[in-house]
Structure 1
């Protein structure tokens, strides 16, 4: 199997990747209007100003939607190399306006509104991904 290229941190996401590698999930919060934002970016979507601080939040939420992907979109495929795979979009409990995508690590297909918890998945290059699994009841 071919080696999958790692995610490439950029100016706006570098600190997020560093925090994730330490198993800390964080979102940005605008310095001007206090609006939380994810994914990380330079300007606030609400007030359009620069400046943000990082805020650690629990990686928990609910499944907003999901798809079954039958094709690898990067060389080497998905972590673990299995196709098809499920990708979920999760609405964060701590920041309901923020949606986070990730691979599904549940035994069954997810359901809309299902409670989920983040799972840290290390990559061989020292980076970490955040995947999702059903929350324990």
Structure 2
């Protein structure tokens, strides 16, 4: 099986570009102020198309995780752990990524994002214990 590479689309391209510059951001609706992740064209709360990027710290709490046994991500040996992190700055947003904690995470463990440059075209957000 070939390794999976995220393919930026119309809604996510700018997010991937920001991530490559080591900037973590969510979208904020200019109509109602709702923050959202992942990036999309319309606000799920008010359906407005007006939004801007809001830079936030990549920090939060581990809400759930899985141990993956398929080679979906380039450069990762299986098995590896994928976590869902609820952002501290935006509690309504869950962000997924690879766990770099050296062990399985614990529920509600504090986590901090770290940037991993896979190659010239791809940077990923990994998560690790916030200490």
Instruction: Give the TM-score, by structure 2 length.
Output: 0.94
* Cross-structure match for 2:127: 132
Runs of 4+ in 1 over 6 A off after TM superposition: none
TM-fit CA distance, 1:113: 0.3
| CA apart distance, 1:5 | 4.9
Aligned partner of 1:41 in structure 2 is: 40
Equivalent residues of 1:60, 1:117 under 8 A apart: yes
Distance 1:4 1:43 in 2: 31
Taking structure 1 as the reference length, the TM-score comes to 0.90
Match of residue 102, structure 1, among 97, 101, 107: 97
Q: Which secondary structure does the structure 2 equivalent of 1:118 belong to?
A: strand
Structure 1's unaligned 5+ residue stretches are: none
**What CA distance in whole angstroms lies between the structure 1 residues aligned with 2:60 and 2:39?**
18
1:23 aligns with: 22
Task: Find the aligned partners of 2:93 and 2:107 in 1 and give their Cα distance.
Answer: 16
- Cα deviations across residues 72-131 of structure 1 (Å, max 9, x unaligned)? 2x4xxx343311110000000000000000000001110110000001010213221001
Offset at residue 6 of structure 1 (A): 3.0
Classify the secondary structure of the residue corresponding to 1:123: strand
Coordinate RMSD, CA, aligned: 1.4
- The answer to whether the Cα contact below 8 Å between 1:6 and 1:125 also exists between their aligned partners in 2 is no
